Structure 1
Amino acid sequence: MITIRVYTPEDAICTGQLIADVYEKFNLNYLPKLERGPYLGPFLYAYSEQEQHKAAIASILKAQMMWVAVNLNNEIVGILRGSPQRLHSLFVREDHHGIGIGRMLTETFEEACRELGCTKITLAASLYAVPFYQRLGYKKSTGQRKGYSFDGAGFPFQPMKKILSN
């Protein structure tokens, strides 16, 4: 059983490690492993014990709206970060892909946006995530683009949007 709950600052280390692992494996797999560091930003140090690294990750994670998915062992297996009308990031631990966690987190976010009066949500999907978002009703809003991921330039992404129904 999976529970969705609001993110707390105590979740920073676990979520930072989850993001580092998933982001590198699925979003940066087009790059040679030795070239991925600049694209990971502070998540490159997600497993570091140094306080400055922990603080950098906690700081970069901050968003207006955040939820985590927790399994029966109280392990964080997913995280969604966003702000009204904008889904910033969604990550689900690899061994929990395909069982509805991403959908649960996204639906929780969409409902919160509706309650705030939002009529649409936009996002910049990694190319890996485009089919997932399409299954949830998101549409490509333009062609693929290239942008920045921390200090790495040329990160491919797909702008997408969804019109929210009441």
Structure 2
Amino acid sequence: MEEIKETIIELFSDIAEIHGHSRSLGKIYAILYLADKPLCIEDIVKELGMSKGNVSMNLNKLEEIGLVKKIWIKGDRRNYYRCVGGFSSYKDIVKRKYETISRACDKLEKLKKKYNIGENDSISKKLKRIERMREVSRRVLEVLEEIDKDLGEEI
């Protein structure tokens, strides 16, 4: 079971990194995803061996982007956190990023034709890198959609 847990943590770390977030953010999300109950900062620090400041900062970011929610447990002064919106919340963020990149690529392709930019032009090479970003984002989105479809439920 530990190997499965580590693989899931690695997956979410990779996904976070692909989308410009820290690997720590992905690890924290994975721990909350795997948890059967809400966790406090101390629980996450203990589980991952990260500093309290790093965990707190990343929890704030996760809360800001809508992947986790802070909750209070009666009789306990600590803040607790849990995943919200299931896996589809993360998929929606990836989808918005893909759509933004895709719109820009479409516009850039039209501009490339308008200004007759050749394939060997230095700007063309940069445009190819941006197109590659779109392709990678599209593939990540497809994988997330397949996972979401297979799960058929909120996480």
Q: Confirm or deny a common fold (TM above 0.5).
A: no
Higher relative contact order structure (alpha carbons within 8 Å, sequence separation ≥ 6) = 1
Question: Which one has a bigger Cα radius of gyration?
Answer: 2
Q: TM (normalized to structure 2)?
A: 0.27
Q: TM (normalized to structure 1)?
A: 0.26
The structure where strand makes up a greater share of residues is: 1
The structure where helix makes up a greater share of residues is: 2
